[in-house]
Structure 1
């Protein structure tokens, strides 16, 4: 991700609020299905993971792609177990890491949204 970000103009932005999550926190990727741009892969939606890395604040692509503003958000690397993604037959040693913006995540103990459409609404 870092190399891809460096090819374009810098996307990192000043921090405006503390990160909601810390390394080691259990999170769940929200089960979102927006009709517009998102960078959250479908195969992790609704699945639990662990925060592996804090990547700083960056331009939020969901709003930026729609020319609604940059609205910088915290970016995290989240590690998912293959069995949580693809079921008990998946290799128990396989892990998948995904970079995910804070609006895509919720605490793992929070009720799953089960298909409810969730959109990031930028502040007015």
Structure 2
């Protein structure tokens, strides 16, 4: 596996390198599925926002298969999996003081979620 070195960064940024992986991996979820984000607290790199842990949301879009950043960042392999756009209500994330009309969408990998 090729690791990103500091001298490679300008080229990667300029060309918009993608973490998309050409691998067939069955999706764990479908659009419309209700999920719960795992209470995942690793001691190493994670792309899972802390404010989503334990929260419920709805799958809105499946972006396809990508390298899982939590393993890829540490040279532990791509661990290909689906990444989804998940919609959360503001009240689910921020509590009862949040607007009941607002929502947010966050990109979430398979390994961060369970069916609700």
Question: TM (normalized to structure 1)?
Answer: 0.79
Q: Alignment length, in residue pairs?
A: 104
Give the one of 43, 46, 50 matched to 1:38. 46
Per-residue CA deviation, residues 33-86 of structure 1 (Å, 9 max, x unaligned), is 000011010111100000010000001100011111111110001000011111
Residue in 2 aligned with 1:52? 60
Please say if 1:88 is aligned against 2:96.
yes
Q: Is structure 2 residue 75 aligned with structure 1 residue 67? A: yes
Structure 2, gaps ≥5 residues long: 1-12
RMSD value, Cα: 1.6
Structure with the bigger percentage of helix: 2
SS of corresponding position for 1:83: helix
Gaps of 5+ in 1: 109-124
Q: 1:106 corresponds to which residue?
A: 114
